[in-house]
Amino acid sequence: MAITYFSDTSNLQASLATFVVTLIGAKIVLHLIQKDNAPPGPQGLPLLGYLPFFGEFPYKTFKKLRRQYGDIFSVQMGSFPAVVLNGRELIKEALVNRGDDFSGRPNFYSSQVCGPEALLLQYSDITVLHRKLATNYLQKFTEARHNPIEEMVNDEVRIASSEFADTNGKPFYPRDIIFQCVGSVIFQICYGRDVNIREENPSFVEFTKSSSDFTQFVASGNPVEVMPYLRYVMPWKVTKFKQIMKRLVSIRINQVKEIMKSYRPGHMRHLADGLISAYQEEKNKPDSVFTEQRVFKTLDEITGAGFESIATTLTWTVLMLAAHPEIQEKAHQEIERVIGKRQPKLMDKFELNYCQALVNEVMRFTNIVPLSFPHAATKDTELAGYTIRKGTVVIPNLHSISHDPELWGDPDTFRPDRYLDSNSLLDKSSVDKFSVFSIGRRKCLGETLARKELFLFTVGMLQHCKFTKPDHIKEYTFASCKLGHSNPRHLEQRVRRS
């Protein structure tokens, strides 16, 4: 038995040694291949790359690496070679001026689960068509003479203000109330008005829960994304993701199928009607690429763009107001002076300059997506004098713009006045310095909708409420989460009727 034991051990040691040597050899070969004028960068570990060194806040790690390697550097993300782009000019060069070269999406594991119809995949004529149709119909719906967005948001502000008031000045977490209100607006934009949407529409309840689950799952980090072989080691990660996606897809399909039963050509009740109309017009054309499935996927992108990012930004807004009472009072005084007690309208933004500045400063300071959703090189190309191979993951570091001292002077100070000119009017050149919605062909499809909602919600809440920190909190600590939206979930506050 002893001989057998040692023999097995020797075989095991030999196998492990062979495995380690193979890994090291593969690492060396990979390094030599990628060293072909690739951007410089730190060395990582076999199989894992530089992922173990990203830390809790990757954008902070990238800030340090930028000091060492410059505005562009390479990192290995598991199985994927990646380059990180820093600074406004370099990111603009890649995503705007060189959009053809960097408009792809990485073939991460989640894209394989979502299927080939996913809009997050490669940029193509199909993608262009869908973005164009979605933008056109979204614009038609939100800019109608009788603007439904104003009515929807004002209704939700009343609900939120009432629920805030029900806390009776006690500390509470505002996130859930805000998420319900924002979710209600985007759900109605896509699928239609429903007076009792919260109580009587189970699809809406499931939509808000599943959307929140999806964002939390992505934000927490999923190593299977960049190391697909881990699906055999961490099967629960894959199972959970598939379950969330299945729930979201089911909601969307059921909603559209119900809508199709009452669809009338030429009568647009909501965004789904508009997209169904486009599908009906396109489907019989010989070269048509517009399918029923793609109607569903377009709605997916709109709901994703219009829900989580808006809700998270608004949650940060009320927390920033509580943290800066002097800024809150200044915005409230402007609202009192310009519109008084009447409901806010989108046209009011031209006179509510400080409120617009406040919205932009919240987006800049909190920067809910410090790292833009990754792009991918669509072909072998060059950037900043370096060779970028086809398929390379490209990560625009938006935090390097939103908190660039050369652009803002004091980027770590929350100061809405930076967006105003000498006449206290909104300075468009300052607004254009940074967009949390990214830039270029892949910028957020829902940017226009998001800006409208953020303005109306912010003004409405400031009309009705005054936000303060709980007595036991001396100062809020603001930090972005690991990989996705910054997370204001655990910050308490108090509110009273203003």
Split at pLDDT 50, 70, 90, the class of 494 is: low
pLDDT at 132 over 70: yes
The SS3 call for residue 113 is helix
Report the distance separating Cα 451 and Cα 223, nearest Å.
33
Q: What is the pLDDT of residue 487?
A: 54
Mean pLDDT for the stretch of residues 68-87: 96
Contact indicator for 188, 255 with CB cutoff of 8 Å: no
Q: State the pairing for strand pair 381-383/386-388.
A: antiparallel
Of 265-279, 369-383, 481-495, least confident by mean pLDDT is 481-495
pLDDT of residue 31: 52
72-77 vs 80-85, strand pairing mode? antiparallel
The pLDDT, as a whole number, for residue 424 is: 95
311: burial class by Cβ within 10 Å (0-12, 13-18, 19+)?
Answer: buried
Residue 126's pLDDT band (cuts 50, 70, 90): confident
Cα 491 from Cα 173, distance rounded (Å): 6
| Closest by Cα among 168, 126, 136, 185 to 314 | 185
**Model pLDDT, residue 40:** 98
pLDDT band at 114 (very low <50, low <70, confident <90, very high): low
Burial of residue 68 (CB within 10 Å: 0-12, 13-18, 19+) is exposed
The tens digit of pLDDT for each residue in 290-338 reads 677 777 777 777 776 667 889 989 999 999 999 999 999 999 999 999 9
Q: Which CATH architecture has domain 34-492?
A: Orthogonal Bundle (1.10)
**Rounded Cα gap, residues 285 and 252, in angstroms:** 26
Tell me if residue 388 falls in helix, strand or coil.
strand
* 258-273 mean pLDDT: 82
Answer yes or no: are the C-beta atoms of 461 and 455 closer than 8 Å. no
In the predicted structure, residue 11 carries a pLDDT above the cut 50: no
Rounded mean pLDDT of 268-278? 83
Token pair in block for residue 260: 């199709």
Beta carbons within 10 angstroms of residue 219's beta carbon: 19
pLDDT for res 22: 52
- Which of 159-168, 399-408, 482-491 is least confident? 482-491
Q: Which band of pLDDT confidence, cut at 50, 70 and 90, is reported for residue 220?
A: low
pLDDT at 9 over 60: no
Tokens of 323: 């943290």
pLDDT at 16 over 80: no
- For residues 70-78, give the mean pLDDT: 96
**pLDDT cut 70: percent of the chain above it:** 81
pLDDT digits (tens, 9 = 90+) for 358-404: 999 999 999 988 998 899 999 999 999 999 999 999 999 999 999 99
**Is the Cβ–Cβ distance between 494 and 319 less than 8 Å?**
no
pLDDT-derived band at 43 (thresholds 50, 70, 90) equals very high
List CB contacts of 438: < 8 A, sequence separation 6 or more: 95, 369, 372, 373, 396, 398, 444
Higher pLDDT, 199 or 456: 456
pLDDT of the residue at 227: 85
Question: Is the model more confident about 154 or about 167?
Answer: 154
- CA dist 467 and 313 (Å) reads 16
**Nearest in space to 195 (alpha carbons), one of 159, 164, 165, 166:** 159
**pLDDT, the chain, mean:** 82
Residue type, 340: G
Q: Once rounded to an integer, what is the mean pLDDT over residues 342-350?
A: 95
Residue 355 annotated as part of some ligand binding site = no
| Least confident segment among 89-93, 128-132, 423-427 | 128-132
Q: What is the pTM of this model?
A: 0.85
Work out the burial of residue 381: count CB atoms within 10 Å of its CB; fewer than 13 is exposed, 13-18 middle, 19 or more buried. middle
Q: How confident is the model at residue 119 (pLDDT cuts 50, 70, 90)?
A: very low
Contacts (Cβ under 8 Å, ≥6 apart) of 461: 157, 160, 161, 314, 317, 318
pLDDT in tens, 208-218: 778 777 777 76
